[in-house]
Amino acid sequence: MRISFLVTSFSLILGGNLVGLAAMSPAYAAESPVIMQVGSTGQQVKVLQEDLQSLGYFPQNEGLTQYFGPITSSAVSHFKETHHLGSSSNVTSQVLSLIEQSTKRTSLPPTSLSMKLVQKARTYLGYAYVWGGNQPSSGFDCSGFTQYVFSQFGKSLDRTSQAQAQEGTPVSKSNLQPGDLVFFATDGPLSHVGIYIGSGEFINSASTHVEIDDLTTGYWASVYETARRIL
């Protein structure tokens, strides 16, 4: 009886210590509570959509609503994947704060030509990649996309990424500004081009469609080559 009592008491003490350790250990720390998810409604959802749209994750041709549906879910997932936060579409307070901070970081003076160019480029998010394409009606390849966007602001660029890499003035990666052309060696030197939009991201016509990607980590960081300032 005494031995059984001691074993039981020791187990309770040990169990209590484990619970205490679990509560203090970061590995057991509870995740931030979810404040928005699929099915959520209200003005906060509409503000989230607006922020994601300004960052290029929510389609420009989609109207803003107060409903967290599949389109919002996809936009949140893309944002979180880009920032290495997993792939779920749940929005926690930390995720919402990062979205709001990113929106502020990408803000430019209202009269900035660079801001207008970036905003124009974002209107083509989701347009199909088509080899040789350089018009919205036909789709874009990478250099056709940059050529077309800059042409809307009176800037004439050569047709290929290699030729565009000789235009403007060179700029280091650490001094990139929105509107700069960024170049990559995806299929040989200077074989891909996009437009830097701020916060380490660029917009480009990639393998399937016009999209926003992160050039600071992962694949695009590994193939980054150089940048040129046109504006």
Last residue of a domain, one of 105, 121, 141: 105
Asked if residue 210 and residue 141 are part of one domain, the reply reads: yes
Catalytic residue among 61, 134, 142, 209: 142
Asked if residue 214 and residue 120 are part of one domain, the reply reads: yes
Total domains in the chain come to 3
Asked if residue 50 and residue 17 are part of one domain, the reply reads: no
pLDDT tens-place values along the chain, 231 residues long: 444 433 343 333 334 443 333 333 333 234 578 889 999 988 888 889 988 988 888 887 788 898 999 999 999 998 998 888 888 999 988 898 888 887 766 555 544 899 899 989 999 989 999 999 999 999 999 999 999 999 999 999 999 999 999 999 999 999 899 999 999 999 999 999 999 998 899 999 998 999 999 999 999 999 999 999 999
Q: Specify whether 142 is catalytic.
A: yes
Asked if residue 140 and residue 192 are part of one domain, the reply reads: yes
Q: What is the CATH number of the domain that holds 54?
A: 1.10.101.10
Q: Specify whether 61 is catalytic.
A: no
Rounded to whole angstroms, how far apart are CA atoms 181 and 197? Answer: 10
Asked if residue 215 and residue 142 are part of one domain, the reply reads: yes
Yes or no: say if 158 and 164 are a contact pair by the CB < 8 Å rule: yes
| Domain extent at residue 6 | 1-30
Annotate 110-119 with b (16+ C-beta within 10 A) or e (fewer): eebebbbbbb
Asked if residue 224 and residue 121 are part of one domain, the reply reads: yes
Ramachandran angles phi, psi of 76, nearest 5°? -65, -45
Q: Specify whether 17 is catalytic.
A: no
Asked if residue 197 and residue 101 are part of one domain, the reply reads: no
Asked if residue 133 and residue 53 are part of one domain, the reply reads: no
Q: How many other CB atoms are found less than 10 A from the CB of residue 63?
A: 7
Q: Which residues contact residue 92 at a Cβ distance below 8 angstroms, ignoring those fewer than 6 apart? A: 31, 32, 33, 34, 35
Catalytic residue among 83, 90, 204, 209: 204
Q: How many CA atoms lie within 13 A of 82 on its CB side?
A: 24
Ramachandran angles phi, psi of 177, nearest 5°? -130, 150
Asked if residue 87 and residue 14 are part of one domain, the reply reads: no
| Residues in the chain, total | 231
Asked if residue 213 and residue 138 are part of one domain, the reply reads: yes
Asked if residue 144 and residue 56 are part of one domain, the reply reads: no
- 21 alpha carbon, distance to own chain's centre: 37
Catalytic residue among 78, 90, 134, 192: 192
Asked if residue 220 and residue 188 are part of one domain, the reply reads: yes
Q: What Å distances lie between residue 137 and 46, 56, 58, 105, 128, CA to CA?
A: 30, 20, 21, 32, 10
